[in-house]
Amino acid sequence: MFWDKKIETMKPKDLQALQFKRLKKTLYQIQNVEFYRKRLAEAGIKSSSIRTLEDITKIPFTKKQDLRDGYPFGFFAVPLKKIIRIHTTSGTTGKPTVVGYTRNDLDIWSDLIARNMTMVGITKNDVFQNMVNYGMFTGGLGFHYGAEKIGMMVIPSATGNSKRQIEMINDFGVTTIHCTPSYAMHLSEVAEEMNTSLNSLKTGLFGAEPWSESIRKTLEKRLGVTAYDSYGLSELFGPGVAFECQERDGLHIWHDCYLVEIIDPKTGDQLADGERGELVVTPLVKEAMPLLRYRTGDVSMLMEDGCICRRGKKIARITGRSDDMLVIRGINVFPSQIEHVLLKIPEVGNQFMVYIDRINHLDEMTVEVEINRNYFSGELADLAKLQKNIVKELRNALELRTTVKLVEPGSLPRFEGKAKRVIDRREAI
Ligand code: DLL
């Protein structure tokens, strides 16, 4: 199913021509931003320097820190009176990053969300409950307007009060939900406690944080949905940048709107398809806040073309951030790897926390793990066995010795938005 078949299935040659035309327009428009005028002048880049799409590598990267330095409105390329909404990015220390939208931007953004939802078979006959923050976070209003554009009934339930959320799903016959995978996990626990089955649900759209195949399986089983991964970031409008199709093997990124590169985060060199690195994106249709070669910090790779749905090259699921990779005693660890190990052990519950300390100059990782309610025998011997087993599995997967503490079901923090499961308490070296 297509929202905009012509553009979604464009032939590579036509697509490249469109990308190039849009890149040139972006370069023109970006001259309204003082930061870029200076940057491009310093790099000796004029409009005539960019003759092909490949010439993009001549342009310097834009980093999140650049955007922070431009706080609040330093990256806007249109007069303030043309900006009709702003959002800010979540979860960073210090000042947030501000992103702005013209009416045209909001229209394109909701169109992209409509493409994604249509791609997974959602239609105007669906009933959609949007269980994410409706404030400065882009997930709420972003999905809201996209879903309304398709014409389904939208329930802007936002976050909080999980029992009420579950009642609404049942009372209003909700078919599609959207939330973070961590909240979906929590919701499934509450539904279980309430002994209710959420029969009307068909589709779950989950994103805004990394999640694994094992979480997908668990969520599908517990909530009775087909679960799809949704990727985006505020700097590129918000959600809607890339989304899984019904194949659920990689995410389609909308190449007519986003020029994609994968780079080695250390050298900045472009990597080949199939090589994992940092996703760098040049948005091609943003009016209020165009960006050039934006370093997302997210780790992915470009997959081989050839998806049966004909929507072009996909990116692989995000495995973490190039900057949240943990280096523990010289070993690189992604939090998603820890989750993956834990979820494979049936006696382990859904919640865990990771603490990293430096004790006697050595990094120590402690993992607090909730026991699964259904396996909680209370027998001391069983607990000791389970604890040993988790240590062994973590060592096998991460090649790292960890301390594992088992805690009672329900005792670790639950998250309504993005989960923060790793607390690094080491002093900077
Ligand atoms: O999280 C936008 C969004 C809302 C996406 C709802 C999907 C659903 P930010 O708050 O700016 O925007 O955070 C963006 O979150 O750079 C990734 O590190 C992470 N992220 C987002 N989606 C995924 C995903 C929204 N599906 C940052 N898998 C991004 C892994 C994700 N990480």
Cβ of 229 closer than 6 Å to ligand 1, yes or no, is: yes
Q: Examine the domain organization and report whether 251 and 299 are in the same domain.
A: yes
Q: Which of 86, 88, 206, 209 to mutate to test the pocket of ligand 1 (most atoms within 8 A of CB)?
A: 209
When pLDDT is averaged across residues 162-171 and rounded to a whole number, the result is: 97
pLDDT of residue 429: 44
Whole-angstrom Cα distance, residue 293 to residue 261? 8
**Percent of the chain predicted with pLDDT > 90:** 74
**Cα(279) to centroid of ligand 1, in Å?**
13
What is the pLDDT confidence band of residue 196, given thresholds at 50, 70 and 90?
Answer: very high
CB of 97 closer than 6 angstroms to any ligand 1 atom? no
- At residue 314, the pLDDT reads 98
Give the mean model confidence (pLDDT) for residues 323-351: 82
Q: Supply the pLDDT for residue 95.
A: 62
- For a substitution probing ligand 1, which of 134, 278, 318 has the most ligand atoms within 8 Å of its CB? 318
Ligand 1 center to residue 180 CA distance, Å? 9
Q: Is the CB of 133 under 6 A from ligand 1?
A: no
Model confidence at 311, in pLDDT bands (50, 70, 90)?
A: very high
Lowest mean pLDDT among 19-28, 30-39, 324-333: 324-333
- Give distance in angstroms: CA of 208 to centre of ligand 1: 3
Query: According to the model, what pLDDT value does residue 91 have?
Result: 37
Average per-residue pLDDT in the chain? 92
The CA distance from 143 to 240, in Å, is: 8
Average pLDDT of span 79-94: 78
Q: What is the pLDDT of residue 105?
A: 98
- 148 within a domain of the structure (yes/no): yes
Predicted pLDDT of residue 325: 66
Q: Give the residue with greater pLDDT, 186 vs 230.
A: 230
pLDDT in tens, 202-258: 999 999 887 888 889 999 999 999 999 999 999 999 999 999 999 999 999 999 999
**Cα 346 → chain centroid:** 27
User: Does the C-beta of 68 come closer than 6 Å to ligand 1?
Assistant: no
Task: Look at residue 288 in the predicted model and tell me its pLDDT.
Answer: 98
C-alpha 231 to ligand 1 mean position (Å): 5
> Mean per-residue pLDDT for 190-199?
94
Closest C-alpha to ligand 1, atom 15: 208
Atom of ligand 1 nearest to the CA of 143: 6
Nearest residue by C-alpha to atom 31 in ligand 1? 209
CB-ligand 1 contact for 318 (6 Å cutoff): yes
Do 143 and 291 fall into the same domain?
yes
pLDDT digits over 377-418, tens only? 778 788 899 999 999 999 988 878 899 999 999 999 998 888
The verdict on the CB of residue 298 being under 6 Å from ligand 1 is: yes
Mean local confidence (pLDDT), 89-115: 84
Considering the domain architecture, whether residues 118 and 257 belong to the same structural domain is answered as: yes
- Give the range with max mean pLDDT: 141-150, 315-324, 332-341: 141-150
Q: Cβ distance 400 to 333 under 8 Å? A: yes
* 317 and 184 within one domain: yes
Which residue lies with its CA nearest to atom 14 of ligand 1?
A: 233
Residue 202, in any domain of the structure: yes
Query: What own/partner pairs with CB < 8 Å and gap ≥ 24 does 273-277 have?
Result: 273/301, 273/302, 273/303, 273/304, 273/313, 274/301, 274/302, 274/303, 274/304, 275/301, 276/300, 276/301, 276/316, 276/319, 277/301, 277/322
Instruction: Kindly report, residue by residue over 59-75, the tens digit of the pLDDT.
Output: 999 998 899 899 999 99
Which pLDDT score, from 0 to 100, does residue 290 have?
A: 98
Residue ranges of E strands in 135-253: 153-155, 176-179, 203-207, 226-233, 238-244, 251-253
Q: How many domains does the chain have?
A: 2
User: Does residue 183 form part of some domain?
Assistant: yes
Provide the pLDDT confidence category of residue 150 given band limits of 50, 70 and 90: very high
pLDDT attached to residue 347 = 92
What is the value of pTM for the model shown?
0.84
CA dist 121 and 2 (Å) reads 9
Tens of pLDDT, residues 275-293:
999 999 999 999 999 999 9
In which residue are the tokens 């976050």 written?
159
Domain that holds residue 145: 85-323
Note the pLDDT tens digit of each residue in 5-29.
999 999 999 999 999 999 999 999 9
| 350 — pLDDT class (breaks 50, 70, 90) | confident
**Ligand 1 center to residue 52 CA distance, Å?**
30
92 has pLDDT over 70: no
Ligand 1 close to Cβ of residue 138 (< 6 A): yes
For residue 245, what is the domain's CATH number? 3.40.50.12780
Give domain status of residue 235, yes or no.
yes
Using the structure block, give the residue that is written with the tokens 């890339």.
242
Of all protein residues, the one whose alpha carbon is nearest to atom 30 of ligand 1 is 210
**Ligand 1: which atom is nearest the Cα of residue 297?**
16
295, 323, 351: which is the final residue of a domain?
323
CA separation for the pair 97, 88 (Å, rounded): 5
Which CATH number covers residue 374?
Answer: 3.30.300.30
Tell me what pLDDT residue 235 has.
Answer: 95
Residues 281 and 361 reside in one and the same domain? no
Give Cα separations from 402 to 329, 337, 367, 369 (angstroms): 11, 14, 7, 12
